[in-house]
Amino acid sequence: MNLKRRKFLFLTSLGLIGTGLTGILTRQNRQSADFAQSNKAIAANPPKKDLLLRFVSVADTGTGAKGQYAVARAMTLYHQQNPYDLVVLAGDNIYNNGEIEKIGDVFERPYQDLLKQGVKFQACLGNHDIRTANGDLEVKYPGFNMKGRYYTFSRGNVQFFALDTNGNADWENQLTWLKKELSLSKAAWKVVFGHHPIYASGVYGSNPEFIKTFTPLFQKYGVQLYINGHEHHYERTRSINGTTYLICGAGAGHRPVGKNEWTEYSTSDLSFAAYEVYADRIELSGIGTDNRVFDRGFIQFKSA
């Protein structure tokens, strides 16, 4: 066998002749392109110089099932692209009965990537959460950062008011507290959150008693946004007497949703909501498990 033939057979055995060489180069190019595209997908967006605060909200999460993990992954990717350090967790944090021993399965593991990055969750109690010890163990759990069954905290020019909207809540004292805190607030933006809806187009629908109680209260004290769960869907209303109502209860499961005359957008898709706060507006986004923004809305600032 001559030298040229031996060299040909050797190269052939390595797959470096003809289509073999082309295939290797093609695979290498494709892998490089995929790597570049992957990096591009998670590249952080440039900081927005006028942005005051970015946060997200989600509710009805505590299942530990694949739906919760899907939404958690979308929240994590959004964090990589658009950093935030606050999650409003609007109740039903532990299914089915608020058993604190499940906290690893339904909170710490699903959101471990966010927690490792220092993202802070601020929770309120849902109806499932109060089935064990009336929710007291969740109130005391450090990861939920609850100062009580109802409480307030601020981030710059944004003040948040967390409510206990359950039927056994201490409504007399809670409403007295809320009116006082709202009246004393100097924040430009006021955001209230609780588990139960005020306006909704889902299985439970709107709550006439809550409409009677909260709508004039929010109007009087300039509450621009109310966030809740309980309904397992996403729904954003138009401004109702100056307040936008947003349901983000498709954080692990979903149920059908319709529309009302005040509905701007609704969907039963698994999702969470994201908010970018500026001096003159809040930009709201509904984001699905495919990482796409399916809804975008605005709340314009109006001085009192």
- Tell me, what's the pLDDT at 302? 80
- Taking residues 104-124, report their average pLDDT: 98
Evaluate if residue 85 carries a pLDDT over 50: yes
Evaluate if residue 239 carries a pLDDT over 90: yes
- Taking residues 55-61, report their average pLDDT: 98
Evaluate if residue 285 carries a pLDDT over 50: yes
Higher pLDDT, 218 or 48: 218
- Tell me, what's the pLDDT at 46? 72
Evaluate if residue 3 carries a pLDDT over 60: no
- Taking residues 186-191, report their average pLDDT: 98
As a whole number of angstroms, the distance between CA 25 and CA 85 comes to: 43
Write down the mean pLDDT value for the chain. Answer: 89
Q: Mean pLDDT highest for which of 8-17, 44-53, 75-84, 295-304? A: 75-84
Give the contacts of 86 (CB within 8 A, at least 6 positions apart). 53, 55, 56, 119, 120, 122, 155
pLDDT in tens, 243-269: 999 999 999 999 999 999 999 999 999
- Taking residues 146-175, report their average pLDDT: 98
Q: How confident is the model at residue 44 (pLDDT cuts 50, 70, 90)?
A: low
As a whole number of angstroms, the distance between CA 59 and CA 284 comes to: 16
- Taking residues 275-289, report their average pLDDT: 98
- Specify the pTM: 0.85
